[in-house]
Structure 1
């Protein structure tokens, strides 16, 4: 298989290669069946576009405030990201409950009702 055909997939998508090449995590292709593995670079088929990095709204512990906007975490952008990642279902609620348990340990004087509203209620 040509390196150009390999590049349209993630390098770890081995079932798609269909030949004796094994993709690696380092932008190379290892040829199977040799005593000492030969390594060749993957061809670049497209110009690399710069990726704009937007800071993630993550909790800073032990206060559980957002490290970007300073709002109580999960802030609105963090909630939107979590909904995109987990959907509005059981998985999101279970993850939010885990965050609640961690926050209760970090904030033992926090009112339980307020922490529940902050971490779990919004997932419904």
Structure 2
């Protein structure tokens, strides 16, 4: 038995992003959530999560919805994450978030709406 890569490599955006340190696959393997807790897109080490869907016809990965950015610097959002079985709900941990106290951390949960092609925070 041998393994075959599906689609292209999903690279991080920049150095020190640590993209792929955390990831989660849907049950069928066609949706993947990738955390990059060192990403600086919303401030230094705010972190983010990108979610991709695999299209077997084009044999490629396409990002679904927007990037889910950490709220503030040093949130380290995406260091932990979990995708639901069908890939439509994702829970994202941000252990450095200061919302309740310094480095208290938090978890945000998002639901994907295929009609609007966007992620909405729930709860």
Is the pair's TM-score, using the shorter chain for normalization, greater than 0.5?
Answer: no
Structure number with larger C-alpha Rg: 1
Question: So what's the TM-score if we normalise by structure 2?
Answer: 0.25
Question: So what's the TM-score if we normalise by structure 1?
Answer: 0.25
Greater RCO structure (CA 8 Å; 6+ sep): 2
The structure carrying a bigger strand percent of its residues is 2
The structure carrying a bigger helix percent of its residues is 1
